[in-house]
A and B are shown apart, each in its own frame.
Chain A
Amino acid sequence: MTKRINKFLRSKHFSLVVLLVMMIAFFWAFSKNHSYLGLNNIRNILNSTVIYTLLAVGGGLVIIAGEIDLSPGYVGTAAGAVMAALLNSTGLPWLVVVVMCLAIGVVFGLINAFLINELKLQSFIATLAIGSFIAGGFAYIVVDGKTLEIKNDAIALIGTGRIGGFVPYTIIISTAVIVIYGVILAKTKFGRCVYLCGGNREAARLTGISPRLMSYILFANSGMLGALAGLLYDARLKAGNLTGTNHYVFPAITAAVLGGLSLGGGNGDMLGCFLGLLIISGFNNGLVVLGVSPFWQNVASGLLLLLALTLDYLTKRGTKGGRAHGKAAGV
């Protein structure tokens, strides 16, 4: 037991938890009537992590495998636009439309993987091009530059409905996603393969893993989760939006990195990712609750990130955990 506690105290998760507790205490203390920790506001914080969670999970897996995917935000916008267009102009059942839109995400992911693995483009460039130009432009074409209202009751219920009138369905969906992927990453052979590909691609190949196949799977998965994020975004707004989730991917990656994912690959897990998301969303929420000027909020978010990274560096240095940098976590 003591050993486990010591291990936790030396882990990245501990410094994240300390940061989270500090942040919560600060905002709780300074918020009017301590409303920061009110049930409604906790729901607000979790609700604001929903889209980021989906993008961070998909993008995070790609990062752990040693690549980066900048397209899922744009893919989400495109998928949402397609959903709105199909629901408005065809009689297709909503479930069929949702599956088709998720498939669009998969297709964009496969195109990314093709460009990276077959044409040897850098993932940064390939996914940016596919996302910002192809998927982004596709969204404009689909809705003809207009906003399409979504009137489907089922989609509206998923986006805005609440269990017991309190917990939004979107929170349930995003929580389920991060738990499922967390288990897959930590407890399955597939998860270990992801770490191995990111830690040492050549070693992975020599052990019989196909990094190329893994790349296809992970990019397709990232595209699908990007599409899901876009669908939930539009379902929440009840409208197919032109810019949708375009700008969500960088904050999602930032949260994932804050949560311990190394951009070099081979490191990190979903719990850290979740803590990172919670810290960033909780922090942004706290600034709003305190009524901080919106322009100072950006600066404050940057300072939070710097603080978190510094804390992480000090923790690693203090525990000599830095030696383990690059070592496959959970393997």
Chain B
Amino acid sequence: MKKAVAVILTLLMVFSLFACTQTTENTPSGSPSQSPTPTPTPSASQPAQSPAGGGEDAETPPSADTVTDVSALENTIGFFSSGVEPASRDTYEIVWAYMRPMALFQNITTALKELEPQLNFTTTEYCANSDIDAMIQTIEIYSDQGVDGFMIVVDPTASARIKEVLDGTGIPYVAMLNSVRDETGSEIVPCVGIEGEIAGAETIQWLYDNYKTYWGDIDESEIGLLDFNFSPNVDFDDRHNGSKARFLELLPGNESKVFSADGVSGALDEQTGYDLASAILAANPDVKYWFVAGCIELYSQGAARAVETLNMDDRVLITAVGSDVLPAEWDGGYDGSWVSCLALSNYQYTIPGICALVAQMDGKATPETLWQSRRAPGDQVTFYNVSYGLLTRDNYKEFFEQVLVDSGLA
């Protein structure tokens, strides 16, 4: 036992000495000389973008009244410059935090890593594994570690508290995907996402406009709707409501054939989508044709598997909001009833978000000054509504290639 303890203590000492040396050598927040040489960004190539001039320091916090909206000069993908030359300052350390593992979040991580050299920042990724308390604790941990900014998916089940903790850190942040609103419905955190009701409506509109391609000239009164929801999430609830409202607008006589499937009793996963879809589709044989709308892709993916199991491929058309899963399936040769998705490239989410965060960290923007021209009436800050397209198997590659070109990463 004594020998074991002696060995452990020796190892411990060696580790400590080694670690101390490492820490001394690797100075955090790389100096300009350590920063990667930035490549020109699309926005950087645009003239007269900087109200403050490149390389200007970021000591004085701007106010909403006195500072021009630097984000107004964004390009088509949402890229804009704060006016501060990235190479002229230290490397920012940002935390990209989200609640649960999802393909979209992984893809945003990848996009952030690609953008690191251009904007001179490093990304630390954090996944709370659905534990909101852990998310809050971790915000405080990273704050104590001296990070420069947060890009964060604010979980709607505790958005007020998460905002409170973020505000308490005094560190700039930008929300992704989920809007954060006060009691009056006014947006209170700058956020990059999509307007749920419109997105939901668009997916159904596409199915309605194109169903004859798949089913021919059928009797419209035989079409039903399976509309997925995850009611605790306001944005997903909006998508669900948008889909349902547009369906009833297009097919007002089919109200009795509308079925809502709320995943709240399960999880945000494919299995929940499968379970709900298989039960509803099997229990309603009187509905001959189905539109299936997924507020998230995973539910549509589950529905697609359920449709295959039930051999209903020729009677069901599935769509979804989001484009991380279906394009991967198409790449793998999928050609089933999941026929379309509302496309949002990861860069479309990531680029406006990181540019807004960098602008705040540079001291050239505040939550109030960001994206003022895009702000909806009544909102205190802007919910940046990402533009999107509707993808099919025929056009998805072209779409993503164009986004890459627009983002300057092609």
Contact = CB atoms under 8 A, between A and B. Distances in A.
Nearest to B134: A48
- Main DSSP-derived SS at the A contact region: helix
A160 B20 CA distance: 35
B157 A242 contact: yes
Contacts of A146: 231-232
Nearest to A159: B161
A291 B138 CA distance: 11
B222 interface: no
Contacts of B157: 147, 237, 239, 241-243
A70 B111 CA distance: 40
Interface in A288-312: 288-289, 291, 293-295, 298
Contacts of A44: 137, 140-141, 144
Interface string A310-331: 0000110011000000000000
Interface stretch (B62-70, B120-128, B331-339, B354-362): B120-128
Given A288-B126, A289-B141, A147 B101 contact: no
A147 B161 contact: no
A159 to B, nearest CB: 9
A38 interface: yes
B1 A294 contact: no
Interface in A131-184: 140, 145-147, 149, 160
A239 B135 CA distance: 15
B133 A291 contact: no
Nearest to A26: B15
Interface in A257-293: 285, 288-289, 291, 293
A149 B1 contact: no
A51 B133 contact: yes
Given A18-B8, A22-B8, A35-B145, A29 B130 contact: no
Contact-residue bracket for chain B: 35 or more
A29 B130 CA distance: 30
Contacts of B4: 314, 318
Contacts of A26: 12, 15-16, 19
Nearest to A34: B23
A289 B158 contact: no
Contact of A289 (B145, B161, B264): B145
Contact of A18 (B5, B144, B158): B5
A247 interface: yes
A236 B134 CA distance: 11
A25 B12 contact: yes
Given A145-B264, A237-B158, A29 B23 contact: yes
Given A30-B19, A238-B161, A239-B161, A288 B142 contact: yes
A243 B130 contact: yes
Given A47-B137, A295-B101, A241 B132 contact: yes
Contacts of B131: 247
A29 B20 CA distance: 6
A9 interface: yes
Contacts of B129: 294, 298
Contacts of B134: 48
Interface in A8-48: 9-10, 18, 21-22, 25-26, 28-35, 38, 40-41, 44, 47-48
A116 to B, nearest CB: 27
A295 B105 CA distance: 13
B156 interface: yes
Interface in A178-229: none
Contact of B124 (A10, A241, A291): A291
A108 interface: no
Nearest to B95: A291
Contacts of A288: 126, 138, 141-142
B91 to A, nearest CB: 13
Contacts of A241: 132, 157-158
A22 B7 CA distance: 12
A233 interface: yes
A21 B12 contact: yes
A140 B127 contact: no
B28 interface: yes
Contacts of B20: 29
B158 A285 contact: no
B136 interface: yes
A25 B16 CA distance: 7
A259 B145 CA distance: 29
Nearest to B183: A149
B360 to A, nearest CB: 21
A35 B16 CA distance: 14
Contacts of A10: 1
Looking at B142, B145, B262, the one whose CB has the most chain A CB atoms below 10 A away is B145
B262 A145 contact: yes
Nearest to A242: B232
Contacts of B262: 145
A247 B8 CA distance: 34
Interface string B210-249: 0000000000000000000001100000000000000000
Interface in B142-172: 142, 144-146, 156-158, 160-161, 164
B163 to A, nearest CB: 11
A85 to B, nearest CB: 15
Nearest to B143: A40
Looking at B127, B137, B262, the one whose CB has the most chain A CB atoms below 10 A away is B137
A315 B144 CA distance: 37
A279 to B, nearest CB: 15
Given A30-B22, A315-B1, 12 more contacts: A21-B12, A25-B16, A29-B15, A31-B145, A40-B140, A44-B144, A48-B134, A51-B133, A149-B160, A239-B161, A241-B158, A288-B141
28 contacts: A9-B1, A22-B12, A28-B16, A29-B15, A29-B19, A29-B20, A32-B28, A38-B144, A40-B144, A48-B134, A48-B137, A140-B264, A140-B265, A145-B231, A147-B157, A149-B160, A233-B133, A237-B132, A237-B157, A239-B158, A241-B132, A242-B232, A247-B130, A285-B141, A288-B142, A289-B145, A293-B125, A318-B4
The 5 closest A-B pairs by CB, nearest first: A29-B19, A294-B127, A40-B144, A147-B157, A237-B158
Interface of B: 1, 4-5, 8, 12, 15-16, 18-20, 22-23, 28, 101, 124-127, 129-134, 136-138, 140-142, 144-146, 156-158, 160-161, 164, 231-232, 262, 264-265
